[in-house]
Amino acid sequence: MHRVKCTISYDGTLFSGYQVQVDKRTVQSEFEKVLKHIHKGSTVRIAASGRTDAGVHAKGQVIHFDTNLMILPANWKKALNSTLPEDISVMDVEIVDNHFHSRFDAKGKEYRYYIDLSKERNPFNRNYAFHYPYPLDVNRMVQASSYLIGTHDFTSFCSAKTDVEDKVRTIMNIECIQNESQLTLCYRGNGFLYNMVRILTGTLLEIGAGAREPEDLPNILEAKNRNRAGKTAPAQGLFLWEVFY
């Protein structure tokens, strides 16, 4: 058996998330359907660096699977891309050591959240950015971000549905990049909890709008209470950008 590592991109708009769900279209189910076809009806499971929710996109999701087929990486890429639906694309393929694991070997991830600040709604951006046409002080958001850098218990910034007990994570960097009417929030850390990036974004937006103060963040972290943080930003602005190994 050989272990194949793939870096994939997908448009999450028409998916009910990454993970297989009964009677729903997901990234995992579509990918495994193609692998089953390539393996002449045999089921092949894939494992990913992590799950993404419905409507969330990925530029650099990483998955792996085991196969008994002897196929060169370039041919794997060609075979997969010729059969996958148009909203999934394989960007890179490697044959890796059988001990490699796309989830457990990941050292960190980068997520990017896109915010459309234009006054008028752009229908062509609706699936790929959160339209926020209100006054926003980005400098306040930058100031607030500094309180999130480092190792913290992020219980206040994850969904109540989070099923992991250890909610301590390390954020190495948060960057706020404004380019004309687009604001991009880049989060880089060793791992992220369920809805963590979207809740962080919602909270930073409230600070930028003046509804909260940057200095509120240490108290929100200390509270370890989801109700103390801001709203969860919509899914469509979020991209899993890169996974680091």
How many residues are present in the chain?
Answer: 245
C-alpha span between 38 and 69 (Å, rounded): 9
Query: Is there a catalytic annotation at residue 11?
Result: no
Q: Please answer whether residues 193 and 187 qualify as being in contact, where contact means their C-beta atoms are separated by less than 8 angstroms.
A: no
- Strands of the chain, DSSP E: 2-10, 46-48, 57-67, 88-96, 108-116, 130-131, 150-153, 168-179, 182-189, 238-244
- Identified catalytic residue from 11, 53, 87, 153: 53
Q: Which is nearest to 201 in space by CA: 152, 132, 135, 109?
A: 132
Q: Please answer whether residues 1 and 59 qualify as being in contact, where contact means their C-beta atoms are separated by less than 8 angstroms.
A: no
Q: Can you spell out the DSSP letters for 188-202?
A: EES---TTHHHHHHH
In this structure, the dihedral spanned by the alpha carbons of residues 79, 83, 84 and 89, taken in order and rounded to 10 degrees, is: 40
DSSP assignment, residue 40?
T
Q: Which two tokens stand for residue 45?
A: 């499971």
DSSP assignment, residue 211?
S
Catalytic residues: 53
